[in-house]
Each structure stands twice: as C-alpha cells, then as structure tokens.
Chains A and B, each alone.
Chain A
Amino acid sequence: MTGPRMTGPLTSGPLTSATGPGIIVVGASLAGVRAARALRERGYGGRLTLVGDERHPPYDRPPLSKEFLTGPADAERFGLPLDGLEADWVLGRAAERLDPRRLVVALDDGTEMPCEGLVIATGSRARPWVADAPRRGVHTLRGLDDARALGAALAGGGPLLIAGAGFVGTEIAAAARAADVPVTLVDKAARPWIGRFGAEAAAFVERLHRDAGVDLRCGTRVEALTGDGDGDDRVTGAELSDGTSVAAGTVVVALGAVPSTGWLAGSGLALDQGVRVDAYCRALRTDGTHVPGIVAAGDVARWPHPWVPGRGLTLGHWSNAVEQAEVAARTLLFPQEPTAYRPVPSFWSDQYGVKFRSVGLPELADTVEVREQSTERRRLDLAYYRDGALVGALTANRAARTASYQAQLAAALALAPDGPLPGRQAATS
C-alpha cells in the first residue's frame, strides 16, 4: 500500500488483477463489511482492504441500546461474520483525506493508500452535546466502547437522564427500566416519535414509557448540564427549558446521528449531511456528475429514493446499510451495467418486549389510518397514506401485517420504479 504506482479508476469489468492496489473500503462496520462480502461473492479476486477507526473487529450495533446495555455483556455474539473475505485490515486508523481524482486515501498516520475502487462506508456518529458539560457521567451511544461505559454507569444505579426520545433514546430508557434504574426522558417535541410517525404512534410510545415508570418530560429541552464542580467534575443533573431541574448520576445525550463525512471535506465530493450519491450509489461531485470508481453506502450515503427525488434522504437503518452495500459493490464491479437502488425501507425497534416494525416512508404521509391500537394487548397497526396511496406503515407486535404492507409497497415500487409517489401515479394515469 505504499510506494508510487500508476492507478486509475475502474472503467469496466470485474477487477481481478492480483497485483494492483485493488479496492479500499473505508469504514469497517456493517455497510463496509457487507460491501466487501458482495465484492467477493460477485467474483472480485483482487486486493481488498478495509480501513476502520474502531479497534474492535466489526460488530452489529442494534443490540447496544437493547439487551447488551443491562444484560450479559457477550459482545462476541454480535460480531459480523468475516469468513471468506480475504481482506487486509487496517483497524484503529482513520481516513483523513481523499483525493478522488487520483483515487488516493490518506490516513491519520500519514500513509497514502492508492486504490482502483473505493467504497465510502463511514456511517454516522452520535450527535455530541455542544454546550459545556461536566467531564464525568455524560455519555453518547454509538459504538461498543460507548455501550460498555454506559452499561457500567447504569450498573451503578443511576438515576439516568436521557436527552432525546428518538429510537436510541427510547430504547435506552426501556433497557434502563428493565434493570430498575430510575429514568427521566426529555424531548423538545410534544411526544416521543411524533415528528416521524405522528400523534397516534406517539401516544402509544408515550404510554409504554409512562406505564414502565419513566418520568417523561416532553415539550421541553435540556438547557444545561450541571456538575458538582469541585475536583471530580461529575454530572449532577440538568436544567430544562421549562424552568425545572432534574437530578441525575448519569446523562445520555441521544440527539440523533451525524453522517461521518469530515474526512471528505475539500475533496470535491458533494456533501450535504451525508455523501451525495446517485441511484446507483456512485458518489457525486458538487457539480452533480459522478466520480468513476467511488461508491458509498449505509448511514453516510444521501441517495435519491424514487419517492424522494432531488436531495434524497439518508437512512440510519440496519437493512438499508445491508441492501445498499450490495448495490454499491455491484456498481463498482460492473460500472457499465449498474442496477439502481430502490428498496422499501424498513427498520425495527425493541422496547419493553414490544417489537416495532416500520416499512416504507411514513414521514411522507398526509394521512394516518389507525387499524389497531391497543395498549393493553400492546399492539399497533398504523397505515400511512399520501394522496390516497400507501407510503408506509408502523406496527407493534403485528409482524404479519407488516409483511403485507411491505409487499404492497414493493409492488407499487415495481410498477413505477422511477416514481412518482403511488398516489401521484394514480392521479396521472
């Protein structure tokens, strides 16, 4: 990987030369590993290097906010399978710069790595707390080290204050309650999840948390984190915008995720809360043209869904990373015949023994139909429509219904792979 070598972007056909610098995947987690796997499965026999800034071998993140936090800490169980990848691993090193024209990645130790193809899979990071904070007791949750630190803090008993009642915040609340840790959950919105799923879903989620004894403070925000000041600098709680204050031994800042694009600054790639890619996962320049030999997938990619053209969207979901990585790998290997990425998005969330499942893009809806809503039976079935056509669904403990919504959405997409939204299709046909 050192030494000068003439390189250029892949132009056609699977790269099989064993001597070239090969393909580099930056970001050695779900999307990166899945892209690597797909490259091998599709016949790529050249050199393959994965660069990741975490020192752990790749692992799955969903358990981190769930059973892992307060349950047995068997991290091996969710390591990603790496058999057959035959890759070179550069772990504990971050990519710091990219020269897309020469296809050279520069690492934080000064190493310059040329390549013939590049997969950008740097995911996202927890949005940090930007104001002043005490040095101890304030956490975010994105990786294994974070989960271990938070788990140890919760074993100490709390009380726990969570800033942000999104997916990760509500899951942490549930895990903490399962371990009998007192929890205060604060969100600036009127109810948890309301922005994405609307009032009906939010009422259901709110009820779950209140029934479990969570002190839920909505419509207010954490203004300041307070500490004991003297020497130890431990967090003691927070002041909220409604004028109240909350005591806490541990604080988690769960205010969402920010795509990790810092290393691409100045590269000429189009960055817009994520790396912009086209429908084939090819990285775009600021002028909208694509860069040969560079693809992106997973949380870091901002891509055009047929229902969200233009600026497109980023999705911080497990299945998106898996499916997009597969498409990105194919594009890299077969640039002349790329396939478009047109998934039905899906994700799940577990809390209090309730499994939420979402398919499609509920946030696009103008109408929500409540088909079932029972807090007693812990079941929820919400269908989301726009212009009269189904665009998404959210269910709780209703797996079969989810599958049928997914099938409907897949059929609508297959019918009009380039959009527009299903409701608009009906209107124009």
Chain B
Amino acid sequence: MKTHVDRDLCDNHGQCVFAAPEVFSFDDDDYLLYTEEAGDELQEKVAKAAAVCPVRAITFTGGSLAAGA
C-alpha cells in the first residue's frame, strides 16, 4: 500500500504518529517523516492514522481499505 501526506495541510499534530508509529514519526525539528510504501498488514493502522488526522492530510492507496478502492 502507498501512503501520502499533503504537506500543505499537515500541521504536525502528531495523531498519525500515535496511531501508526511504524509508518509515521517526527525528527528532532518536529518534521513529519513517513514511509510511503508499507506492507498491507499496516493498512488498518494507516487507515486509523488517516481518520484521526485533524486536518485530513493523509491519503492512502492500494489496500482494500483505501478510499474509493
């Protein structure tokens, strides 16, 4: 599956890091890092991350839970 964060929207809230630490993290300057390509077993966590992002910056494709899939 593929994950994408819209950097124009992302406001560094960090909810995605709480929900899916395997995919999202912060560096020491509060910059959000994430893995674009993740195994399908992480789908549910990424879906959770997308759902709890307060500014809806996260989209993902490729898994069965993907929006519009």
Residues in chain A within 8 A of chain B (CB atoms): 60, 62, 81, 318-319, 322-323, 326, 344, 346, 348, 355, 357, 359, 397-400, 402-403, 406-407, 410
Q: Who on chain B is nearest to A84 by CB?
A: B67
Contact call A400/B15, Cβ cutoff below 8 A = no
Contact call A346/B18, Cβ cutoff below 8 A = yes
Contact call B54/A62, Cβ cutoff below 8 A = yes
Per-residue CB contact flags for chain B residues 1-37 toward chain A (1 = under 8 Å, else 0) read 0000000000011110110010001111010100000
Which listed residue (A348, A359, A400) contacts B25, Cβ 8 A?
A: A400
Q: Provide the bound-state CA to CA distance between A400 and B32, in Å.
A: 9
Which listed residue (A322, A355, A397, A406) contacts B51, Cβ 8 A?
A: A322
| Interface bracket on B | 10 to 19
B52 CB-CB contact with A under 8 Å: yes
Q: Provide the bound-state CA to CA distance between A319 and B26, in Å.
A: 19
Q: Provide the bound-state CA to CA distance between A319 and B52, in Å.
A: 7
Which listed residue (B14, B21, B51) contacts A357, Cβ 8 A?
A: B14
Q: Provide the bound-state CA to CA distance between A400 and B28, in Å.
A: 7
Contact call B27/A323, Cβ cutoff below 8 A = no
Which listed residue (A62, A322, A398) contacts B52, Cβ 8 A?
A: A322
Q: Who on chain B is nearest to A409 by CB?
A: B18
Q: Which A-B residue pairs are the 3 nearest by beta carbons?
A: A399-B26, A400-B26, A399-B30
Task: Please indicate the chain A residues that have their CB under 8 angstroms from the CB of B26 in the complex.
Answer: 399-400, 403
Most buried by A among B14, B17, B25: B14
- Beyond A81-B56, A357-B13, 4 additional contacts (C-beta under 8 Å) are A322-B52, A355-B30, A397-B30, A403-B14
Overall SS of chain A's interface: helix
Q: Provide the bound-state CA to CA distance between A407 and B56, in Å.
A: 22
Query: What are some 15 contacts across the A-B interface (CB < 8 A)?
Result: A60-B54, A62-B54, A322-B51, A323-B52, A344-B18, A355-B12, A355-B30, A399-B12, A399-B26, A400-B28, A400-B30, A403-B17, A406-B17, A407-B21, A410-B18
Q: Who on chain B is nearest to A402 by CB?
A: B14
Q: Who on chain B is nearest to A403 by CB?
A: B17
Q: Provide the bound-state CA to CA distance between A319 and B28, in Å.
A: 24
Residues in chain B within 8 A of chain A (CB atoms): 12-15, 17-18, 21, 25-28, 30, 32, 51-52, 54, 56
Q: Who on chain B is nearest to A343 by CB?
A: B18
Q: A355-B12, A399-B26 are in contact. Are A406 and B54 (CB under 8 A)?
A: no
The smallest beta-carbon distance between B52 and chain A, in angstroms, is 6
Which listed residue (B27, B52, B56) contacts A400, Cβ 8 A?
A: B27
Q: Provide the bound-state CA to CA distance between A398 and B26, in Å.
A: 9
Contact call A403/B25, Cβ cutoff below 8 A = yes
Task: Please indicate the chain B residues that have their CB under 8 angstroms from the CB of A400 in the complex.
Answer: 25-28, 30
The smallest beta-carbon distance between A322 and chain B, in angstroms, is 6
Q: Provide the bound-state CA to CA distance between A403 and B52, in Å.
A: 15
Contact call A348/B13, Cβ cutoff below 8 A = yes
Q: A322-B51, A398-B30 are in contact. Are A403 and B21 (CB under 8 A)?
A: yes
Most buried by B among A60, A400, A410: A400
Q: Who on chain A is nearest to B13 by CB?
A: A348
Task: Please indicate the chain A residues that have their CB under 8 angstroms from the CB of B25 in the complex.
Answer: 400, 403
Contact call B15/A319, Cβ cutoff below 8 A = yes
Contact call A406/B30, Cβ cutoff below 8 A = no
Q: Who on chain A is nearest to B24 by CB?
A: A403
The smallest beta-carbon distance between A197 and chain B, in angstroms, is 18
The smallest beta-carbon distance between B24 and chain A, in angstroms, is 8
The smallest beta-carbon distance between B69 and chain A, in angstroms, is 13
Q: Provide the bound-state CA to CA distance between A424 and B17, in Å.
A: 28
Contact call B18/A403, Cβ cutoff below 8 A = yes
The smallest beta-carbon distance between B15 and chain A, in angstroms, is 6
Q: Who on chain B is nearest to A406 by CB?
A: B18
Q: Who on chain B is nearest to A62 by CB?
A: B54
Q: Provide the bound-state CA to CA distance between A39 and B17, in Å.
A: 25
The smallest beta-carbon distance between B55 and chain A, in angstroms, is 8
The smallest beta-carbon distance between A425 and chain B, in angstroms, is 22
Most buried by A among B15, B17, B18: B18
Q: Provide the bound-state CA to CA distance between A326 and B32, in Å.
A: 26
Contact call A399/B15, Cβ cutoff below 8 A = no
The smallest beta-carbon distance between A60 and chain B, in angstroms, is 7
The smallest beta-carbon distance between B49 and chain A, in angstroms, is 12
